[in-house]
Amino acid sequence: MKIIHDFEGKKFFTEIEEKICEVEYEVTDNNTIEVVRTYVDPDFRGKGIAAELLTGLSNFATENGYKVKPVCSYAVMFYKRHNEFQNLISKKEDLEGFGSCNISKKR
């Protein structure tokens, strides 16, 4: 799967069968990436696509010295499960909640 980083659009995405799956983010003034939305088309859920997208975002954060604040509910669960990215989390409290986005709703 080819993961594309749209730096200006602030998202990581892939296209599968002409359907876009994506992770959107914002960069705060303290050099933190806030993961605000994860969307995978219903036809492709449960296949690890969102995890691949967040792995791409996490690798980008690592390579560029960013911290990560998972706001999206899927991102919170991803970072709880992936210890290899724990060093990226901006604050431990970021993983205590359940997040706030709706992964089933496309903008």
- Write out the DSSP string of 41-70: -GGGTTSSHHHHHHHHHHHHHHHHT-EEEE
Stretch 87-96: mean pLDDT: 81
Query: Which CATH code for domain 4-95?
Result: 3.40.630.30
pLDDT digits (tens, 9 = 90+) for 13-62: 999 999 999 999 999 988 999 999 999 999 999 999 999 999 999 999 99
How is the chain split into domains, by residue range?
A: 4-95
The predicted pLDDT at position 76 comes to: 93
Cα–Cα dist 14/72, whole Å: 18
The predicted pLDDT at position 100 comes to: 63
What percentage of the chain exceeds 90 in pLDDT?
79
Give the C-alpha distances (Å, rounded to integers) separating 2 from 36, 68, 92, 97. 21, 22, 31, 31
pTM above 0.75, yes or no: yes
Cα–Cα dist 76/80, whole Å: 6
The predicted pLDDT at position 92 comes to: 75
